[in-house]
A and B are shown apart, each in its own frame.
Chain A
């Protein structure tokens, strides 16, 4: 069965520092992978997605993610975080029957 693991429930970084949020997936075929962000009291917004091709994917707001098949990972990165990046981040994998399976999320805190 498809699954997504985000091992870090909370991450705290200082403003201006680099960021990496971890995501591991389990899927038998070529995965379709997503990162979504949820700001407090808001719905989810897509940051980026991977279907095929270049394994380094660029997204909105300066985020990127790298697909590594050998590690079953799709980690999200940003070279320099801003206070407005504080939010909940969800990794997801596209499954059968048009479902998207979400990870449990990582809450990002930014120190001034």
Chain B
């Protein structure tokens, strides 16, 4: 029973191409996230969605477009891929946090390693 799953696990593509990464969670969580982990292992949030609504957009180039068809899915589409987009992209989910209260655990997917040639 995979809690947060991502496809594909590996993605190798040429500069200029457009690609998508899919994420699904079966935890019943309302909030989902995309993170980028660079070659130095630095983990930085890109986006978060709550019930299909964009909550966080962290100064990410508009070549990156998240899409949430329902609260269990958050996909990431990347246009015109660049060398600097090479990284591991993690999807995560957590229970609803809006309205205050303790910050809950985020559950992470296994990651998608994107290599742009």
Contact = CB atoms under 8 A, between A and B. Distances in A.
A100 B45 contact: yes
Contact of A44 (B50, B55, B108): B108
A32 B103 contact: yes
B48 interface: yes
Interface string A26-38: 0000001010101
B98 A32 contact: no
B105 A34 contact: yes
A98 B103 contact: yes
B97 A98 contact: yes
Interface string B86-117: 00001010100110001101111111000000
Contacts of B98: 98
Contacts of A90: 43
A43 B34 CA distance: 12
Interface residues of A, number: 24
Q: Which of B41, B90, B107 has the most CB of A within 10 A?
A: B41
B100 to A, nearest CB: 10
Interface of A: 32, 34, 36, 38, 41-46, 49, 51-52, 88, 90, 94, 97-100, 102, 104-105, 107
Interface of B: 4, 31, 40-45, 48, 50, 55-56, 90, 92, 94, 97-98, 102-103, 105-111
8 contacts: A42-B110, A42-B111, A43-B109, A44-B92, A98-B103, A104-B41, A105-B43, A107-B41
